[in-house]
Amino acid sequence: MQMDKTNLYKTPFSRAYWHQAMSDFKSLRMLVFAALMVAIRIALKPVGIPLAADLRISAGFFVNAYGAMVFGPVVAIFSAMISDTLGYLVYPNGIYFFPFILTEIAGSLIFALFLYRAELSATRIILCRFCVNFFVNIVMNAPIMALYYRMMMGRSYPLFDIMRIVKNLALFPLESILLIVFLRLVIPPTKKLGYVFSGTEKLRFSKKNVAVLGVLLLCSIIMIFSYVLYNYNTTSLSASYTADERLERNTEMTEWVRKELGEPDDEDLVVIIESAMTKFWDDELTYDLSIYTLDREKLAADPELTEALVRGYSKSKAAKAECLVKTGSAVAITHKKSGLHLSLTVHWMSSRRTWNLAGRNRNYDSGHMAACFSQ
């Protein structure tokens, strides 16, 4: 069957379309181009446009869409497999889990089915980006994430992750606009080189496109703001502490607990911050603390450990440290801006604990596990 090299197809559901895709798969020129796109895509893997906390537009998706538009669905499948595998080797992040390759393949395939050998329009690109964000990033990715967490981490993962849904739907309008602008820039030189055959005449926003994207953009701004607010209110500030900051904050909490308990000379007392939570509209910062006793014999037995290192531990490291024996927990509240100590509540795990408070000795049973100090 003789193929017209400049053919455009209304849909990918034709024998001629797939014959053309297989023809490009056998083309050395197209395979070299695909290799170049894979290399660029891997190089851009860590690059993105930051929008908010844990919310960014990946630069790699522009290259993915552009490449799939040029070399078609057959080559797109193999390029996705290669870029996913090599991308992990170059930029390892977490545990490699093979099923994630399916989302890479599906995303590249959708781009190719919508853009390869097609008469491009703003509507087609908007639909294309929506399908990737919804069907791949939300619907398809959810069971794979659940499987990953269960098999690799022994934990459950919600099948419907609200924040993942919000992030993808919020980014979709802006990603669509940026992709249209990007293709308008790259298609003319690519067309001169004979890689694509569609023009950019229809890559303009009609009044209907502008109205739809305007509404979607407004919704995305609201969702992004909601996401940022939710993320701020539910993410521990201690997760972003540097090693020096963690040591400084742990030391501050240790001294506070010592002072309130009337035991300023208790050098074996170690307080570790487990979380530091606050609300966007609140002036208070709430710390969840773990209280430990330092076993100096075990500390001395490990030449790699120092007291300063142990006192700067995070929650997970402290829980595993053999030289730390957990004796209680506490909730401390400070003023967010001034750092003023507002209140401290201590819970002891041992049967009894004695300390001096306001010049008087007091005994507290584990049956009355909390002692509160406020100012």
pLDDT at 365: 38
Q: In sequence order, what E strands does the chain have?
A: 48-52, 55-58, 269-278, 284-294, 324-335, 341-348, 352-357, 360-365, 370-374
Mark whether 176 and 268 lie in a shared domain.
no
Radius of gyration, alpha carbons of the chain: 29
In tens digits, what is the pLDDT along the chain, a chain of 375 residues?
A: 444 556 888 889 899 999 999 999 999 999 999 999 999 999 988 887 776 656 678 888 899 999 999 999 999 999 999 999 998 888 887 788 899 999 999 999 999 999 999 999 888 998 899 899 888 988 898 889 888 888 887 777 776 677 777 778 878 888 888 999 999 999 999 888 888 888 888 888 778 777 877 777 777 777 767 777 877 788 888 887 888 999 999 999 999 999 888 887 788 999 999 999 988 888 899 999 999 999 999 988 888 889 999 999 999 899 999 999 999 999 999 998 888 999 999 988 754 343 333 333 333 333 333 444 444
Is 184 part of any domain? yes
Mark whether 147 and 59 lie in a shared domain.
yes
* Interatomic CA distance for residues 114 and 136, integer angstroms: 15
In Å, how far from its chain's centre is CA 347?
Answer: 34
Domain boundary among 202, 235, 268: 235
**Number of separate domains in the chain:** 2
Mark whether 228 and 242 lie in a shared domain.
no
pLDDT at 1: 41
Q: What residue numbers bound the domain in which 263 lies?
A: 238-374
Residue length, the chain?
Answer: 375
Domain boundary among 235, 250, 283: 235
Mark whether 337 and 311 lie in a shared domain.
yes
Mark whether 146 and 24 lie in a shared domain.
yes
pLDDT at 78: 95
Is 210 part of any domain? yes
Is 6 part of any domain? no
The contacts of residue 26 (CB under 8 Å, 6+ apart) are none
Look at residues 370, 347, 368, 225 and name the one whose alpha carbon lies nearest to residue 291: 347
* 3 state SS of 4: coil
Mark whether 174 and 307 lie in a shared domain.
no
Q: Per the structure block, which two tokens stand in for 18?
A: 């797939």
pLDDT at 309: 92
Residue carrying the six token digits 């400084």: 248
**205, 209, 212, 217: CA torsion to nearest 10:** -20
Q: What is the pLDDT of residues 291-339, one digit of tens each?
A: 999 999 998 888 888 999 999 999 989 999 999 999 999 999 999 888 8
The contacts of residue 199 (CB under 8 Å, 6+ apart) are 120, 187, 191
* Interatomic CA distance for residues 161 and 346, integer angstroms: 35
Supply the pTM of this predicted model: 0.62
Mark whether 105 and 206 lie in a shared domain.
yes
* 3 state SS of 330: strand
Would you list the DSSP string of 237-262? GGGG--HHHHHHHHHHHHHHHHHHHT
Would you list the DSSP string of 116-161? TTS---HHHHHHHHHHIIIIIIIIIHHHHHHHHIIIIIS----SS-
pLDDT at 185: 92
Mark whether 175 and 320 lie in a shared domain.
no
CATH number for the domain that contains residue 46? 1.10.1760.20
Mark whether 224 and 243 lie in a shared domain.
no
Is 5 part of any domain? no
In Å, how far from its chain's centre is CA 172?
Answer: 17
pLDDT at 366: 37
Is 4 part of any domain? no
Is 7 part of any domain? no
Domain boundary among 207, 235, 263: 235
Mark whether 94 and 140 lie in a shared domain.
yes
* Interatomic CA distance for residues 69 and 61, integer angstroms: 12
Is 186 part of any domain? yes
Mark whether 62 and 191 lie in a shared domain.
yes
Is 74 part of any domain? yes
Mark whether 287 and 301 lie in a shared domain.
yes
